[in-house]
Amino acid sequence: MSAALSGAVDLSGLKARAEATSKAKAPAPASPDGAPAGDFVIEVTEATFQAEVVERSQQVPVIVDLWAEWCGPCKQLSPVLERLAQAANGAWILAKVDVDANPRIAQLFGVQSIPTVVAIAGGQPVEAFQGAQPEPQIKEWLAALLDALRDRLPGISAAEQGGEAEPVPEPEDQRFVVAEEAFENGDFDAATAAYQKILDEEPANEEAKAALAQVRFLARAESADPSVIVRADTSPDDIDAQLAAADVELANQQPEKAFARLLDVIRRTSGSDRDKARTHLVDLFGLFPTEDPLVGKARRDLASALF
């Protein structure tokens, strides 16, 4: 019953648009058929998506229900999801998104039709289905999802045991707040310095390492001349142009092109040029979750190209 999402889904795409009030919980919404929603059913907007979906999904799965008032099948599916969310007692959260009011969220998931239901875990989409489904199938889908995620998300077992699904969050680390504010303001130098300071104090801080890699990549990509792709295509031996072109392609949400470009360089070069392209490609891999299928395929292609 799962459906593939179209293209790579980057859930950080809405973060910059979130307002300062986005961390406040939205009021309980009404469902499409007018039934009141409860504690485990929330209404999500573009401004609250980061806090209510991405951040919540670090503890329990968040099931995103993309619906619209005019959608007949949505009115069949949404009440079923709401009832199941209440019965789950916080083992998962239902996040309802009116696609007419929040088109960027629908675009983020590449939604072709509604209703579309997407499961988010650990900040990433993991499963999806489209169309109204019978309740037994939905229950089966949810049970399999929870079984697969129980070891990764602590809130599932806590809720099932009658505990708190979402513990009170620890106070925000102000060092990260400073770095994130600089990043969102486009001050890459300040963001780089802030994340580097965290790593100087805590060399093993994986969150800071990942964030620093993202900032450095975006700084490179934004400073690159968009015409570098043409230059790289017409000058295949210009290694620096190939690396910069791959950055631009990745920044343009074309990871397959970026990976293919660098793999081609690796296959047809040797020595320092080959090492330079390989190092750059591995750095780009680090910008993605380790289980990303595109990265998995590219890693296998890299191994073939090298050996």
Catalytic residues: 71, 74
Phi-psi region at 227: left, alpha or beta (left = phi > 0; alpha = psi -120 to 50): alpha
* CB neighbourhood size of 187 (10 A): 14
Q: In what order do the strands lie in the sheet with 116-121?
A: 41-43, 93-98, 62-67, 116-121, 124-130
How far apart are the C-alpha atoms of 252 and 178, rounded to whole Å?
Answer: 27
CB 189, CB 201: distance < 8 Å: no
CA distance 82 to 117: 13
Measured CA to CA, the distance from residue 236 to residue 224 in angstroms comes to 17
